[in-house]
């Protein structure tokens, strides 16, 4: 459980911060809401108090004996500002301390994550760009806003990211100072990262398929992490059950053969390619063009052919400097066996990095958490555990390190 200060600035997206607050409290965190005076015009004190289980703190002069303007920032493990308006970004960048929230920002030594929300013109204005650059240079994580419908009829970049995206990135920043620094410095800016996610489905007839239970959460977490570190991201999504994160270019596919061609197209010119999808290894040779009917009590025999190995194909055709990352879920009795299986698979696939998962203990599919070993041709280079977003950041760091080394 962590102590989180949730700062809320005065924008209509304040209502979405209620959902973020709920996510934090349901995950067991202790949240103090610090709304600005304008935020309280959008969502009142009662809502924040009821959802957080404690009174809001919004006035520098209230409860002066508690020295809230210093205490809240000092004691916090994480400060999240959602929405961060253009005005809040400007006040934070210039070091103002004209209300309780800006006081908290000046006294906090923990990770600070800001989720901007404003009209597109305000987000793209040179003044806001400069304020964001200043904040990032000081280590503040300023998330990339989503694109889409704004308050009026207009659309464009400036929407508050979805509460689950803010939560995932904020908790990843809380998990590791290195991850917070990577997001703040936009360390993947200028890189194109291609990620596949989900499970492919091979049709048996127009309404039935052979598939697997991959949820796509790991690939989505990788896409979210890469976009928040400044990369241009393409997500090739095979039957992914969750929303793609904001700022990601999504290509939807169904079968392994569609996945193979979408990945081949997307990977040309990419710097990092991650095969987090679970492609079906077999496909029916002759799917029925009409719905298969029962005939008496006869069973059904289907002839399957092997599909293409997408990862091996990408690795074989990889341009110089590109890092191709594969995943392997193995059932191993111990780490030595896991590494042996992984080493053989890494060599067989020809990839530069393999993310190794031991699935013998239970299901990974659909779970929020993950535990992996990172294997390079030189051996185990790292291990990661935690939420899929936390693990995703570590995988990207390892891949970016390899990319930098090969580019030298
Ligand atoms: N993969 C792929 N194309 C396939 C099957 C798998 O690109 N047709 C990729 C997966 O996305 C993953 C990696 O290969 O990154 C390892 O997947 P896994 O199922 O462990 O590989 P298989 O080759 O199917 O190995 P096994 O023989 O152990 O099933």
Per-residue pLDDT tens digits for 239-296: 998 888 989 999 999 999 999 999 999 999 999 999 999 999 999 999 999 999 998 9
| Alpha-carbon distance values, 374 to 4, 75, 196 (Å) | 31, 35, 18
In 3D, which of 363, 361, 324 has the Cα closest to residue 346?
324
- In 3-state terms, what secondary structure has residue 303? coil
Cβ(279) – ligand 1 distance below 6 Å: yes
d(CA 113, CA 111): 7
Percent of the chain at pLDDT > 70 equals 98
Please choose, from the candidates 72, 76, 134, 137, the residue with its C-alpha nearest in 3D space to the C-alpha of residue 99: 72
**What value does the mean pLDDT take over residues 355-367?**
73
Q: What is the 3-state secondary structure (H, E, C) of 318-356?
A: CCCCCEEEEEEEECCCCHHHHHHHHHHHHHHHCCCEEEE
**How many helices (H) does the chain have, and how many strands (E)?**
15, 19
pLDDT tens by residue, 72-96: 999 999 999 999 999 999 999 999 9
**What domains are there in the chain, each with its CATH number?**
3-185 (3.40.50.1950), 192-407 (3.40.50.10300)
Catalytic residue among 38, 103, 131, 212: 212
Residues 6+ apart with CB under 8 A from 378: none
Determine whether the shortest distance from the Cβ of 327 to ligand 1 is under 6 A: yes
Least confidently predicted of 12-21, 153-162, 177-186, 387-396:
153-162
Give the pLDDT of residue 59.
80
Separation between Cα atoms, residue 109 and residue 73, nearest integer Å? 7
User: pLDDT class for 116, splitting at 50, 70, 90?
Assistant: very high
Task: Tell me the best of 309, 313, 316, 332 to mutate to test the pocket of ligand 1, counting ligand atoms within 8 Å of each CB and taking the most.
Answer: 309
Q: Tokens 């990352």 belong to which residue?
A: 325
The band of 361, judged by pLDDT with boundaries at 50, 70 and 90, is low
Omega prior to 83 cis, within 30 of 0 = yes
User: Would you call 171 helix, strand, or coil by DSSP?
Assistant: helix
Say what the pLDDT of residue 325 is: 98
* Residue 131 designated active-site: no
Q: CB–CB of 271/322 below 8 Å? A: yes
Compute the mean pLDDT over every residue in the chain, rounded to the nearest whole number: 94
pLDDT tens-digit readout, 131-183: 999 999 999 999 999 987 777 777 788 999 999 999 999 999 999 999 999 99
pLDDT score of 331: 92
User: What pTM did the predictor assign?
Assistant: 0.94
């Amino acid at each position: 459980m962590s102590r989180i200060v949730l700062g809320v600035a005065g924008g209509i997206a304040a209502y979405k911060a209620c959902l973020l607050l709920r996510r934090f409290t349901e995950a067991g965190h202790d949240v103090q809401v610090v709304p600005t005076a304008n935020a309280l015009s959008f969502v009142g004190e009662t809502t924040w108090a009821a959802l957080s289980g404690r009174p809001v703190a919004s006035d520098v002069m209230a409860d002066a004996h508690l020295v809230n303007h210093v205490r809240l920032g000092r004691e916090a493990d994480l400060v999240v500002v959602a929405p961060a308006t253009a005005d809040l970004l400007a006040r934070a960048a210039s070091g103002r301390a004209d209300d309780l929230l800006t006081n908290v920002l000046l006294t906090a030594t923990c990770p600070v994550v800001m989720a901007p929300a404003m009209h597109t013109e305000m987000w793209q204005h040179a003044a806001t760009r400069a304020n964001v650059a200043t904040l990032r240079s000081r280590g503040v994580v300023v998330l990339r806003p989503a694109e889409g419908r704004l308050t009026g009829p207009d659309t464009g970049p400036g929407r508050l990211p979805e509460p689950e995206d803010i939560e995932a990135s904020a908790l990843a920043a809380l998990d590791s100072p290195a991850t917070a620094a990577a997001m703040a410095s936009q360390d993947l800016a200028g890189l194109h990262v291609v990620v596949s996610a989900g499970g492919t489905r091979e049709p048996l007839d127009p309404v039935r398929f052979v598939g697997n239970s991959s949820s796509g959460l790991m690939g989505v977490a990788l896409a979210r992490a890469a976009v928040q570190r400044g990369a241009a991201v393409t997500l090739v999504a095979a039957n992914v059950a969750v929303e793609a994160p904001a700022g990601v270019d999504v290509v939807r596919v169904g079968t392994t053969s569609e996945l193979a061609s979408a990945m081949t197209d997307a990977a040309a010119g990419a710097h990092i390619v991650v095969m987090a999808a679970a492609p079906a290894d077999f496909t029916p040779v002759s799917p029925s063009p009409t719905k298969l009917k029962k005939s008496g009590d006869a069973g059904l025999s289907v002839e399957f052919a092997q599909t293409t190995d997408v990862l091996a194909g990408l690795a074989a055709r990889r341009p110089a400097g590109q890092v191709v990352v594969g995943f392997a879920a193995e059932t191993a009795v111990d780490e030595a066996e896991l590494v042996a299986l992984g080493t053989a698979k890494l060599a067989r696939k020809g990839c530069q990095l393999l993310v190794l998962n031991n699935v013998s203990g239970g299901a990974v599919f659909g779970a929020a958490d993950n535990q992996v070993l990172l294997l390079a041709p030189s051996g185990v280079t790292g291990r990661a555990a935690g939420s899929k977003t936390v693990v995703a950041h570590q995988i990207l760091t390892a891949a970016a390190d390899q990319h930098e080394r090969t580019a030298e």
